[in-house]
Amino acid sequence: MFAARALERAGIDHYDLPPYQRDALSDLIDGLDEEAIAAINDSWTHDEERLLKRGRGYHKEIPAKPRIDVSVEMTSKGNFKAEWFPTGYLQYGMNEEPTDFLHFYRKDSRTISYGGRPSNELFFIRKIQHCVGAHRYGQKRATSELDTVLLVACNSLVERLKERLEFHFEVCMTSDLFLEWEEVSGRHLIRDRPDRLLKWEIDSPAERQRLAELAYLDDLEDNLGFSEAALIEAKNVIDTRPLKRGQEPSPHNYGDRIAKELKKSGFPATKGNVERALTLIQKHRRNAKVIQLNRPN
């Protein structure tokens, strides 16, 4: 555990730490909940018939991996935790879709004691919100650098969890941890400081991808060399161009024909760029219903 090693190198005793750092450090040393991970891997709860029917990629004779959703979140008390659910499962009401598990029930507490944790909780790290606040607002104390170490250790814990689960499951992260760094120049010197952590945040990967694709689409001309309006115009020309008698439109060279039409107007278009742009327009624009990836019949 590199957080403990960093503490040792700094010459700081565990009992000299503020309570929130001491709690977070002790939880991170054995961070993953092995009991919860073992429960997911219980093959008796997997729908083997459904997994065999779906198959694994091109190897239909091999059962598919069960699909699960994993989320990380900060609780109202500032604790950092992760939970899992079968993909398609709704805790209240009917499931959105059939799951890959024969049965699943989330227990709010595994024991009858007050401090019992939920049955589907994969890790629980106390007081991490204090580390986030101390790092964000630059609080200065003798152990302030340990806040960054603990935040990076949380990211390592999440990555280790995903690595273990993805070996046996198709994992969809409904929320994930994202770090942003500022590179420090002159790293070749021994005494130079490491890169600086700028941002530590929990966000939806799907939402981040959506925003990135929208930004890419808004700057389409800078990214691909042709504007959205020019692409639609070239597509309309191809769609309305009369075909020779007996000729059938081929979907395989549709993007290539649009690219050639764009090149006639002086745009550096390629088939791959055209298909990527059409896919993004169909996915994100409100008038996407009029955008088809193939020539309409």
Q: Which residue ranges make up each domain of the chain?
A: 2-203, 213-290
The type of residue at 47 is D
Length of the chain: 297
Q: List, in sequence order, every residue forming a beta bridge with 201; answer none if it has no partner.
A: 178
Q: What is the DSSP letter of 14?
A: G
165: tokens are 């689960």
Render each residue's pLDDT in the chain as its tens digit; 297 residues.
556 666 666 566 666 788 888 999 999 988 999 999 999 999 899 999 999 999 888 888 889 999 999 999 999 999 999 999 999 988 776 677 889 999 888 888 877 666 678 999 999 999 999 989 888 877 676 667 888 889 999 999 999 999 999 999 999 999 999 999 887 766 555 555 667 888 999 999 999 999 999 999 999 999 999 999 999 999 998 888 887 766 666 778 888 999 999 999 899 999 999 999 999 998 888 665 545 555 555
With 0-12 / 13-18 / 19 or more C-beta atoms within 10 angstroms meaning exposed / middle / buried, residue 244 is exposed
The type of residue at 51 is L
Please give the angle made by the CA atoms of 293, 207 and 46, to the nearest 5 degrees.
90
Contact 152, 177 (CB under 8 A): no
